[in-house]
Amino acid sequence: MNSSAKRFLIILLIMALFAVTLAACGGGQGPKIEIKDPWARPSPKMATSGAAYMIIENKGNEDDALIGVEGDVSDAIEIHEMVVDENNVMHMKPVEGQRLVIPAKGKVELKPGGYHIMLIGLKHQLQEGEVVDLTLKFEKSGEMKVQAPVKMAK
């Protein structure tokens, strides 16, 4: 084998190693969920329900879906959205099938007037300064714990 053929083989080998390394760290398949800015709204004194918000980002290359939320703060927790009816009146309703898709390389913002996590049957009034513990359940990424401070909307 002459020296330029050797050099070519070595370069091929280095490229192959590089490809294997890339695949092993970060180039893999699947969703990658990150939760940003979780917060919950203070609840009025007689309110029986509250709401929590956050940004759910998926940095992976596969869709995932939020399929449920659990916590001790209220009797039940549902994923809700706001819709405008035929009379142009805004209502909230549970997201169909309690399944909110978080697209690959995308994000879904839960915010007042849009998607939100509905805390139904609050066990106590939510006051500024406290923290609401929630466990988000994702179809592929499993469970993720989130701490949502109670504060006024920005």
* Residues of this chain that bind Cu ion (CB under 5 A): 80, 92, 118
The tokens describing 86, both together, are 């035929």
Q: For the CB of residue 131, give the shortest distance to Cu ion in the complex, in Å.
A: 21
Taking alpha carbons only, the member of 46, 153, 48, 64 closest to residue 110 is 153
Q: For the CB of residue 96, give the shortest distance to Cu ion in the complex, in Å.
A: 14
Nearer to Cu ion, 26 or 113 (CB): 113
Give, in order, the Cα–Cα distances in Å from 87 to each of 81, 83, 113, 146. Answer: 17, 11, 17, 37
Nearer to Cu ion, 118 or 136 (CB): 118
Nearer to Cu ion, 31 or 134 (CB): 134
Q: For the CB of residue 98, give the shortest distance to Cu ion in the complex, in Å.
A: 12
Q: What is the DSSP letter of 143?
A: E
